[in-house]
Amino acid sequence: MRRRKPPTPPSPLPQRDGVDPVRVRQPLDGSWATVRDHLVGRLAAGDGVIDAMIAEGRILRADGSPVTDRTPYEPGGYVWFHRDLAPETPVPFDVHVVYRDEHIVVADKPHFLATTPRGSHIAETVLARLRRDLGIAGLGPAHRLDRLTAGLVLLVVRPEERGAYQTLFRDRLVTKEYEAVAAYDPDVALPVTVRSRIEKERGVLTALEVPGGEPNAVSEVRLTAHRGGLGLYRLTPHTGRTHQLRVHMNSLGLPILGDPLYPRIAEPVASDDFRRPLQLLARTLEFRDPVTGREHRFGSDRALAAWESYESWDQ
């Protein structure tokens, strides 16, 4: 009979500016003498950083007591601490709350703002902002949008209900439509359903289509309007591969305006350069609420700048 894993104890530290503390579990087969030795050996924190945090009482055990340099190693035990965050460039655009009830929050996010803390984007994220602004510490994402994509994101108020909403996306029970601006090419036959195999390796910026591979990515592409050499496209993904819509538009010879990765990787821009955002918008989100049974359909109020005024977008 398989032994049930004991539940993770609650954090003794509150969130800070909407960001959860770091939780570190001590492996069951560890041979370190002290918690301090384990943290120094495991975390790339730099010389003296862990010792300074311990001296300041910033690393806590599950019972809220501070770790000392003599605290014995505890196989399977946990410790928590807040890391010192590097300065982040503020994203100068607001997150709009489209809908909120006791179960979910639907946010309309701007370009350049990450959905959840990751890498160098921690405090400047949709999740951290809304936890602070709405006062909902347990708020969590049901799915994610790329940092460069604008539009609708579904977040869950109660952690115990998050799995039910994530299952909607896993089982493809959510209808999503996107809008994009790209060049207009009358020789590209539309509408079209693009099917291909997309793979992305960890640490590699771009995703790749594998010729002849079993399709794992399906997108419908329709032309809504065109003028001045530009097209406004409606994109309906039926799967959720990384960069799927961007890859499929590029494969049609219609790379989305402002895309720094497709068809080629552009030179990095300064972190405070918010010009020429990727012209991709998660326009609508439609699903049956797994908790309340309500039928939901939400729409973004944002506009794609290159379609409104290409000259202004291309400054």
Residue positions annotated with a catalytic role? 146
Contact predicate 247/259, CB 8 Å:
no
Residues 6+ apart with CB under 8 A from 298: 98, 99, 106, 152, 284, 285, 286
Neighbouring-strand partners of residue 34 = 72
CA 161 to CA 156: how far, in whole Å? 7
Cα distance between residue 41 and residue 177, in whole Å:
47
CA-to-CA dists, residue 200 to 102, 252, 261, 280, angstroms: 37, 19, 13, 20
How many angstroms separate the CA atoms of 266 and 81, rounded?
A: 37
Transcribe 84-114 into DSSP letters.
PPPP-----SPPEEEEE-SSEEEEEEPTT-B
Asked whether the beta carbons of 281 and 304 are under 8 A apart, the reply is: yes
d(C-alpha 109, C-alpha 129), whole Å = 11
Provide the Cα torsion 287, 291, 292, 294; round to 10°: 10
Alpha-carbon gap, residue 50 to 55, rounded angstroms: 9
Q: What are phi and psi of 53, to 5 degrees?
A: -65, -40
